[in-house]
Structure 1
C-alpha cells in the first residue's frame, strides 16, 4: 500500500459506522461495501492529507487512484474522485485512458457524475482535440456510463456550451429508455436553461423531448415561473 493511502486508511477507520454503512450499501443497491462515513466527516478527516504539503504530485495521481479504486469500500473511490477534482488542472492528457477505465469500473452515478462534470469537463477545456476523440467514442458506446459522461461533460460550461454538440448527443440518446440516460439529458437541459432558457424550450418542443428528460429539463424554468 502506498504510504499516502495508508494514511487515508488510518484516518478513515476510526470513523466507521456500521448502521450508516448498511444504509449506504442499501441506497446504492448493494453494489458496494462501505465504512459508513459521510462526505463531510470524510473530507474533514483527510484535510491534512489534502494540504499543499502532503498532497501527492500530479504524476502520482493516476497510480494512486487505481489503488484506491481497487479497494472494496466505496469511501476509497470517493477519496480518489476528490483527488482528481483537486488536481484536475494539473492532470496530463494521458490520463484520459485511465478516466475511461474509472468510469467503466465500479460504475455508479456517485463517481461517474463527478468524473464527467469536473474531470472530463476540465480535460476538454485543456485538451479539446484529444478529449473530443474520447467523447466521440463514448457517445456511441454500449456502456451507459460512458454515454452519460458524453452527455454531462459540458454541465458547468454555461455560455461556453457547444450547443450543436449537445444537440447531437442528446438526439443520439433520446430514444434510450435507460433511466440514467434520460436523467442525464434532463439534467443537462435543466442546467443549460439557466443560461439560455429559450434555446432549451425550443429544443424540447422542436424535437419532441418527452417523459423524464422533459420534466427534468424544464424543472428549473417551471420552478422559476
Structure 2
C-alpha cells in the first residue's frame, strides 16, 4: 500500500505529525512520571487522519501492519488497531488469526483510547454470546489495561442484548479503586441500562450504596434527575 506520493503507511502517518497537538495529547493521556500513560509518545495526529489511513490500508496483510502495532508512537498503534477492527469485520476467514494477534499484542494496547476503539469490535464480537468465559483471564488480571479490555469487550455483548457479562463484571468492579476501571464499568452499566433499564436499576438497588462515586455517576448519567438523586442519596448514606 502506498499513498499519493509513493510513501509507506508509516511514512505517511509520520508526515502528518503536529508538535502542538502532540504536546496536548501527552498531557491529555497522562504520560508524565507515575501517570497511567507514563512514557507514551505522540505524533499529534487527529482521529479522522488515523481512521482514513487505516481504511486506505486494508489491502495490507497483518504482517505489514504488525510493526505499527508495536511502535513507540501511540498513533501508529491506534492505526494498527483500527485496521484490525476493519479487517475483522471484512475478512471472515482471518478472524481467528486476528483475535490471536490481538491477544499476543495486549502489552501494546496500553491506554484507554486504544482499548476503547478495539476491544468490543475484535474480542467482544468474537466471543459473543456464548464464549464470555474466554475473557475471564483478562478480567482477572491485575493489569489495568487488560481488565479494561475485558470490560469494553462487553459493549458488543450489550449491543446484541446480552447484559449478563457486564453485570457480573460490575459486581467485582465495585471493589476496584482505579479510576479508569470505575469509569469503564459505570459506562458499561449505563449502556446496559439504555437497552434494559431494569438490569441497571436492579443492580443499583443492590450495589449503589457500595459503589465508588465515579462508577455510580457514570452509570446513572442517563437516568432522570429524581432517579439520579435517589441513587446518589443511597451512596451518601453509606
Judge same fold: TM > 0.5, yes or no.
yes
Give 1:185 shift: 1.0
CA displacement at 1:78 relative to structure 2: 1.2
- What residue in structure 2 maps to residue 222 of structure 1? 224
Q: Distance in 2 between matches of 1:223 and 1:45?
A: 42
Give a deviation string over 1:199-225, Cα, whole Å, max 9, x none: 201211112352111110010123798
Alpha carbons of structure 1 residues 207 and 157: separation in structure 2 relative to 1, 3 Å: same
State the partner residue of 1:163.
163
**Does the Cα contact within 8 Å between 2:128 and 2:157 map onto a contact in 1?**
no
Task: Please give the alpha-carbon distance, in whole angstroms, between the structure 2 residues aligned to 1:66 and 1:133.
Answer: 27
Task: State the aligned residue count.
Answer: 212
Q: Give the structure 2 partner of residue 172 of structure 1.
A: 172
Shift of 1:80: 0.4
Contact in 1 for aligned 2:154/2:165 (Cα 8 Å) = no
Give the whole-Å Cα distance in 2 for the aligned partners of 1:200 and 1:45.
Answer: 38
TM-score (norm 2): 0.77
Alpha-carbon RMSD across the aligned residues, in angstroms, is 2.7
Structure 2 residue corresponding to 1:119, chosen from 102, 112, 122: 122
Q: Any conservation in 1 of the 2:54–2:83 contact (CA below 8 Å)?
A: no
Q: For residues 93 and 197 of structure 1, what CA distance do their matches in structure 2 show?
A: 34
* TM-superposed deviation, 1:148: 1.5
User: Quick check: 1:88–1:122 contact (8 Å CA) kept in 2?
Assistant: no
**1:9 alignment partner in structure 2:** 10
**Alignment match of 1:110 (pick from 93, 113, 117):** 113
Q: Given that residues 81 and 111 in structure 1 are in contact (C-alpha distance below 8 angstroms), is that contact kept between their aligned partners in structure 2?
A: yes
1:33 aligns with 2:35: no
Q: CA shift at 1:169, angstroms?
A: 1.7
- Structure 1 residue 47, shift from structure 2 partner: 5.3
Taking structure 1 as the reference length, what is the TM-score of the superposition?
0.81
- Structure 1 10/65 Cα, relative in aligned 2: closer, same or farther at 3 Å? closer
Tell me which residue corresponds to 2:25.
24
User: For residues 199 and 142 of structure 1, do their structure 2 counterparts lie closer, same or farther at Cα, with a shift above 3 Å needed?
Assistant: same
